[in-house]
Every structure is written in C-alpha cells, then in structure tokens.
Amino acid sequence: MDIKTVADQGPAIKALYRLLNQYPHLPAAAFDPGTVIVPAGVVPGIGITLHNGFADFEAWREALNIDGDTVEHRQRLDAPSGSYQLLRGYGTFGEVAVQIQGFAPLGPEATAAA
C-alpha cells in the first residue's frame, strides 16, 4: 500500500493514539506514523525512535511484546555525529506494524578497538 494522503496514514495515526493512551508512562520518543521498513519490506506502520539510551528502548520493547531474541544490534564507528550503537526491533500494535529503534553512544573501549 502506498501512502499518498493523510487518510492513508489513518490506521497508523489511530494506532499511535491508542498506543499513547495505553502506555502514557513510557519514555518520550520520536514518532513517525506512515511507512516503516520491516524484514518483509516497506509497510504502513509506526516508527518509534529513542535517543536516550537502551533503557528507554527496553521499556518500549517490553510494552510491545517484541521478543528480545529478534532485536538487531548494530554499531557505527564513523558517523559524522560520533560513534554509536543501535538496537532495532519489529512488532505490531493492533493490526499496525511497528519498528522501534534505540540509539546509544559507544563506550571508549569500543571506539578504541576500531
């Protein structure tokens, strides 16, 4: 499904509204209702991005019942803004796909080994 109008974003926006009402205690995040990239491809959904470390990511992952064994871990040592690591997980909320991403800086031991 192509997202061409606000109406096309409707299911993701409605799911995001329900998500925020069901879990008002979760850490603040950046939300992107529209399309997300999941292992199956690009689909309508909600992107949730967290920049304050992995504890925030874990709170969201647990709330969305995303299996920890399916979470991807990556490192980027040469980013213009500095070295960081990324956790990414995929799930659903209702009928809507969800991708969560959490960023954290790399420790000095990781960047020294590069």
The answer, yes or no, to whether residue 79 has pLDDT greater than 70, is no
Query: Structural domain of residue 97, as residue ranges?
Result: 6-112
Measured CA to CA, the distance from residue 48 to residue 27 in angstroms comes to 11
- What is the average pLDDT across 16-45? 92
- Predicted TM-score (pTM) of this structure: 0.85
**How many domains does the structure of the chain reveal?**
1
pLDDT tens digits for range 5-20: 888 888 999 999 999 9
Q: Which of 96, 100, 111 is CA-nearest to residue 66?
A: 100
Please check whether residue 83 lies inside any domain of the structure.
yes
Residue 69 belongs to a domain with what CATH number? Answer: 3.30.460
Question: What pLDDT is attached to residue 34?
Answer: 87
Please check whether residue 1 lies inside any domain of the structure.
no
Question: What pLDDT is attached to residue 47?
Answer: 96
